A and B are shown apart, each in its own frame.
Chain A
Amino acid sequence: MDSETILVGVSILTTGLLLGAIFSLAASGVTIVYGSIWLPNASNGQFFLIAPLIAWLLVTSFGLSTPAAAGLALILAVPFSYFLEATLIRRFYDVPNRNIAYFMVTLGLTQVFAGLLNITFGQWSDQFSLPPVLGGISWIGPFPMQNNRLLVLCLAITLLVALFSLMRYHRFGRALRAVFQNREAAALRGVDVRAVYRTSFLLGTLMIFAAGLLYGMALSFDLTLAWNMAVTVFAIMIVGGPGSVLGAVVVGMMFGFTQAVVSAFATPTIASFAYLGAMLGVLLLKPDGLFTR
């Protein structure tokens, strides 16, 4: 193999890892919310985009450093999620077939956010990027990787590990999994189901915001990112199985590598076709997804 092939291969590998970790993070957030509240968040792409846009605004207008701006944007997820929960999400907690109503509401939200972002950020710039936190290149064995991307990758993996530990070992994680499996039984065993709903929506929003911020720290982006992410994340959730964090991570990694390989050799549209095809196939053949028990 000549050096050029190796370089392309390495860049696919690192981009795939990076995208895979970010996809997994966002999809875990969406799948947790669906598993507990039955809320298929169609506007997850807008959430994903709003986070780095806020950080970009803080950096360009107020001169904050990227880590400070990202931290502030992440904190803003708390009032943002609380507001949505109190005004919209809470109303449907007791409706039996609420996932359709939620789907329509979040599709409406998507339209509102898309319009708002178009008349604000869309007027200010075509392309957005956050200044890199770290400069330089590290050599992992014989493979070069930008320090900045390495940092983002480490952060993403740390967050995923933290999420897994939360779900497995913490009281809240156990309550959440109990609600996934059986709402009534969980309530009978003393789980406050509504509190779990509220917290899981907050957790999901935080995960999507974090994923969006990591994406913005590693790559440049524009407003079309929202829709592409929404489609990708939904496809990951459905293929992995709604409510399955493991499924979201495994399929997210697979889709990340697919995206990296496809964008190296062809137009990204083909990747979208592949995701959508996979989603339709799983919907028709095994609607519960590949990783549900």
Chain B
Amino acid sequence: MSRPWPLLAGSLALCIGLPLALAGAPFAAYIVTGAFLQLLFAAGMNLLSGYTGITPLSFAGITGISAYLCVGLVMRAGWSFWAAWPVATLVAAFVGVLLGLPALRLRGFYFVLSSLVVQTVLTLAFTAFASLTNGDTGISQIPPPSSPFVAGGTLGGTGLDLLIALVGWAGVVISWRLAGSGFGRRLVAVREDPELAETLGVDVVFCKLAAFFISSLYAAAGGPLMAVFVGFISPRSFDLLASLNIWLMVAFGGQGSIAGPLIGTLILAPLPSFLLGYYQVKDIIYGLLIITVTVAMPGGIHGWISNRMRPRLP
């Protein structure tokens, strides 16, 4: 895009204005902030799944590592959230790179399967090491972060909503800049044909690892935010279904584009809030959508629309 500034300024204004406007409507604010959080996750998933062509089903596990680590540092070691958040994010992102190493060896289905194994092991570990994670019961009453402006105050309600909206916005903007850069085009080259990319001088190993690191940063940065926003974490919040649902938002909207995950998240993220108490119905709907997207619309909504708008040869 030649002149991105109006779009950037407009979306930024929306991200600041929306939480402020909804300050008096807690339920609506909850839905909107939840959507911003999912937007961050979807942007990170899109970098790997859409641009690099690697589907990491261990995505939510990275989020979980970061969330548990941050909550542990805050509630047990007495750290400030503002110190624990970046530390937990960096640690979890490095773990994400380690867990991505199989992608250097395994192709296609075999990597997806290995990431499913990793995700399952992580969920089992969150349950099994109950002394650190409180097992299946989960950790509740997670305190909100301290206010960076008022000494002794806490950042809750609209303040926290604003923070998450800004982080979500920054995540999408950064992924957009990355996708348009030379690095983003190298990722696409790796996706399309790794051997050819290698002969063209693309460092495939570096590209894959860098994509894993950046994508894991997204997954990890959202974990602590999710913990303080919801106030509760349990192994269920970071299981295979969570990973699959993030993938669904990306694939439903359209992988490998910036608008696609935006569309997918805006449609799917609010859905669970309207089905409160019927979360199994949500599972069924999401499952059916996964099947529909895979069978009928591999390009997602975005791919379908841009197919329609492309001028056709007579």
- Point out residues on A near B: beta carbons under 8 Å: 40, 42, 88, 91, 97, 99-101, 103-105, 107-116, 118-119, 231, 234, 238, 269, 272-273, 276-277, 279-280, 283-284, 287
Contacts and interface: CB of A to CB of B under 8 A. Distances in A.
Given A104-B294, A109-B287, A115 B113 contact: no
Interface in B220-259: 241, 244
B102 interface: yes
A274 to B, nearest CB: 11
A115 B291 contact: no
Given A108-B290, A111-B244, A287-B106, A234 B113 contact: yes
A284 B114 CA distance: 9
8 contacts: A97-B108, A104-B290, A111-B244, A111-B284, A115-B280, A118-B283, A276-B121, A277-B121
Nearest to A113: B287
A118 B280 contact: yes
Contacts of A100: 55, 108-109, 112
Contact of A114 (B117, B118, B283, B289): B283
B294 A111 contact: no
Interface residues of B, number: 33
B106 A105 contact: no
A274 B281 CA distance: 33
Interface string B277-314: 00011111011111100110000000000000000000
Given A111-B284, A269-B128, A280-B114, A99 B120 contact: no
Contacts of B291: 88, 105, 108-109, 112
Tell me the dominant secondary structure on chain A's binding face.
helix
A112 B288 contact: yes
A243 B183 CA distance: 39
Nearest to A270: B128
A110 B286 CA distance: 11
Given A119-B280, A276-B117, A105 B295 contact: yes
Interface in B200-230: none
B124 interface: yes
A101 B109 CA distance: 9
B114 A103 contact: no
Contact of B102 (A40, A276, A284): A284
A264 B35 CA distance: 46
Contacts of A110: 287
Nearest to A98: B109
B118 A280 contact: yes
Contacts of A269: 124, 127-128
Given A97-B108, A276-B121, A283-B106, A115 B295 contact: no
Interface string B87-112: 00000000000000010011011101
